[in-house]
Amino acid sequence: MVTMEINASKRTKAYQVWPGKNVFFFHGRLVCGPDPRGLLLTSISILVSTWIFTIYIADDLQNTNSTVVITICSILTLMVIVNLILVTAIDPGIIPRSTEQQSSVEDVGSSSKKVTVNGVQLKLKYCRICRIFRPPRSCHCAVCDNCVENFDHHCPWIGQCIALRNYRFYLAFLITALVFFVYIFGFSCRRIGVRLSESGVGLFGMLRSFPETLALTLFSFSAIWFLGCLAIFHSYLTAINQTAYENFRNRYEGSPNPYDKGIISNIKEVLFAPLPPSRVDFRAEVMPRWDMEDHEMPPHWLSI
């Protein structure tokens, strides 16, 4: 009985031997990108902004109920953080590598294949790392070292691929973060205006007396520009049903986009269609004698 329990605890799970560069948490339940620095910086920026706003600005607003102002700020912070966690921690649409031990491009015979999507012929490229013909719209992310479905881009500020399964949360993150910084910027400007008119010390006097308010105003102004441009660009891409990767590479120049079904249908498809399940079960058991040095996929690493 004891031996069986020890063996069970030693069983290898797919996430423990995953050949991509992802980092897993909670025994493979959370699938993150390999570099957390951008995510840490983004999270700290949001939390420090909330802290400065709550301590220095919201408490010093005349003729305004500071409790209501702080409560709304806290709700916005929570919404931004929840969306950030969803974008970061769910499988973005990783495509499993080939389980065929010897499938090289020589075995396949050609490095490209053609498929027809809604009457438009598309070329499928062969990925030498994953040893698969990539489905249409997918791409191999060099940072995460995986082929990913509907690859949009790898976001360094979130540290994760933005693709089929987390795109809608990315857009929700952009919009909630934009509203959050507009809110902070509005009240920060108001505090600066009130203090300037009261004391008449000028901007340099303000810098000495209220450096945190000026710093937060400048930071939130920059964040509004950055997030605003991204939100507009991605809303446009959603309306025409293109990924940023396709847009930058002019994928549909000279040929129609077979995925474009009109603005309303595109928005419905990109944002509201049911999310497909993950193609990989990272918690599935894999063959115990798989040779990790070999970098070949174990035959039974996928869940059934």
Contacting residue, 32, 39, 141, 280, with Zn ion by CB under 5 A: 141
Nearer to Zn ion, 22 or 83 (CB): 22
190 vs 251, beta carbon nearer Zn ion: 251
Q: Which stretch binds Zn ion (CB under 5 A): 99-107, 136-144, 187-195, 289-297?
A: 136-144
191 part of the interface to Zn ion, by CB under 5 A: no
Among 14, 39, 58, 130, the residue binding Zn ion under the rule CB under 5 A is 130
- For Zn ion (CB under 5 A), the number of binding residues is 10
129 binds Zn ion (CB under 5 A): yes
CA dist 95 and 175 (Å) reads 28
Local structure of 161: helix, strand or coil: strand
Minimum CB–partner distance for residue 90 and Zn ion (Å): 13
Contact range with Zn ion by CB under 5 A, out of 145-153, 232-240, 276-284, 285-293: 145-153
Using alpha carbons, select from 117, 121, 153 the residue that is nearest to residue 245.
Answer: 153
Cα 49 to Cα 67, 207, 213, 296, distances in angstroms: 17, 18, 10, 46
What DSSP designation does 55 have? Answer: I
Instruction: Round to whole Å and give the CA distance between 69 and 50.
Output: 11
Task: Please choose, from the candidates 303, 256, 301, the residue with its C-alpha nearest in 3D space to the C-alpha of residue 12.
Answer: 301
| Shortest reach from residue 254's CB to Zn ion, in Å | 26
Asked about 144 being catalytic, the answer comes back as no
Q: Is 127 among the residues that bind Zn ion (CB under 5 A)?
A: yes
| DSSP conformation class of 14 | G
Annotate 233-265 with three-state secondary structure: HHHHHHHHCCCHHHHHCCCCCCCCCCCCCCHHH
DSSP type of residue 137: T
Q: Closest CB to Zn ion among 31 and 184?
A: 31
Least separation, in Å, of the C-beta of 177 and Zn ion?
20
When binding is defined by CB under 5 A, the residue of 161, 171, 172, 216 that contacts Zn ion is: 161
CB of 140 to Zn ion, least distance (A): 3
In order of 110, 235, 269, the CA distances from 103 in angstroms are 12, 40, 34
Binding site for Zn ion (CB under 5 A): 127, 129-130, 140-141, 143-144, 147, 154, 161
Active-site annotation, residues: 155
